[in-house]
Each structure stands twice: as structure tokens, then as C-alpha cells.
Amino acid sequence: MTTPVQQGHGSREELLTLIALSVARLTRDWGRLITAQDQLLRTLERIRPGIGSTTRVRTAVSEFNRQVAQFERDARAFAERWAATDLPTAYRDGALQALRRANRDVTLFRWTVDHQAAITPITATFYVDLMRRVQEAVRRAQAFARTAQDAAREVTRGRNHEGIDSARLATDHPLATVIYADQSRHPVESWACSALSWQGVVAANSGAINTARWELDAQWMQCVDGPECGFTNHADTDHADGTIRSIDDADTYPLAHHGCVRSWIPRPDLNNRTDIESGDTA
């Protein structure tokens, strides 16, 4: 019988490093928008009626749009690498970690047809999620540019003698934030950390669960989680940490919520036990 050797949260340094580096890169790419917005506002603040003012406005807006296009290219390249390389790496690392925690040989893991089929919808879904945010940011940036250009034209035509209202434009078009479905605004870095952590850990836990199922024929998994985290969501009174769950239950809830620290230990040693049910304490 196999006894898991790691009962704590386990070693996830490589996964956490991957996520941290990816968050930093995506935040840096997003910074291009933030810098471009500030530069456009500063330039338009100096515009006054006169010869060449219309050209200066057009040139400044064109430069902003060029920066937006570069952001879109950089962010798309990031999303493609994240989906094609980084998430499969997280999946594989989760599989290897599961084998180690079950005291099994890591060479049992191979990129079989089953594993390839499992990672494909994960990467496809998460790629679409990221690109939706990128495209939303581009649309918001373009809307800002149109509004800022209209405001500057009012100045160049002598209809506004006070200049553009930069503070109002920045407030109405906050490119440094991501807007959630509930209309709440979150700093780009905060959103990126939450989104990429969720995606990376889901991939890793899926690798662990699938490896337990296919390589170890495990029917049970041991859940490692925060002491107060519920199984289906954080507030669930069915606490997850230290419990034994069927592999199907583990597959249904690889994580409970964003920011969840959950991981899984394969328990093939319990396959022949008839006295346990999903949710029992290990």
C-alpha cells in the first residue's frame, strides 16, 4: 500500500514562479496603454487654437493608436505563449507533483492522447478568456482616443478656452483597471494575478487528477486546502482540507474559488476500501 509522503501544501515553487513571471509580463504589456494614455493627455493639454493645432492633435492621437496596436500584438503574443507553453507546463508539473506525493515514479507520466485531449479545452478556454480582456482593453482605449480627440478639437476650434479636462477623461476611461461583470474596477496587476493564478492552478490540479486516474488507477484523492475553505466554494460548510474525495468529485472541483490554494494527493492505496465515502476525513 502506498502512503503519501507530503501532507502539507507541497512544493509549488515552480508553478508560483511561472505565474509570478507571467503576471509581471502581462502587467508590463498593459503598462504601455497606461503610459500612452498619460502621454496623450499631457500633449493635448498643451494644444491651443492656432496654425498647426489640428495637425498636432491628429499626430498625438495617431501615436496613441500606434501604442494601442503594439499593446494588442504584445498581449496576443503573451496569451498565445501562455496557452501553448505555460499552461501545458503547469499541467505536466501538477502531474509530476502528484506522482511524487504518491511515492510513484515520475516517469509514469507521458503526454498520452488522453492528456493531450485533456489539456486542449483548458488552454482553449483560458486563451479565449485572456483575449476577451485584451480586446476589451483595446476597445476602451479606442473609445478614450475618440473622446480625447473630440475634446481637443473643441479647443482648437476656439469653443473651449479652458483646455481639455484631463482628470475627467482619465476617470471616465480608466485604462489602468479591468472592469468585472459587476462593473467593479480592479487594478490590472490585481486582475492578472487572480486570473493567471486561477488558470495555472486549474491546469496543475487537472494534471494531478488525470494522472491519478489514468496512470495510477486511483479512485480516491486527498484534498489539501486552506483550513477554512469549503469544498465547492469558500463559504461551503463542507470543509475540504484533509478530506478524501472521489476522483470524480476532485475532477468537478479542482479549485473552489479564485485565490484557492487547493492541491490533490492521489490515494490509490484506498481503492479496495469499502468503509469510506467522499468527504470523509483522511
Could you list the beta-strand ranges (E) of 96-219. 177-179, 185-187
Domain boundaries, the chain: 13-270
CB 98 within 8 A of CB 212: yes
Q: What is the pTM of this model?
A: 0.90
C-beta atoms surrounding 242 within 10 Å: 14
d(C-alpha 2, C-alpha 216), whole Å: 11
The rounded radius of gyration (Å) of the Cα atoms in the chain is: 25
d(C-alpha 144, C-alpha 249), whole Å: 46
**Could you list the mean pLDDT of each consecutive 10-residue stretch along the chain, which spans 282 residues?**
40 88 97 97 91 91 98 98 98 96 95 98 97 97 97 87 91 95 94 96 97 97 92 88 95 92 94 85 78
State residue 63's pLDDT score: 97
d(C-alpha 245, C-alpha 262), whole Å: 13
State residue 273's pLDDT score: 87
As beta bridge partners, residue 187 has: 177
State residue 5's pLDDT score: 37
As beta bridge partners, residue 186 has: 178
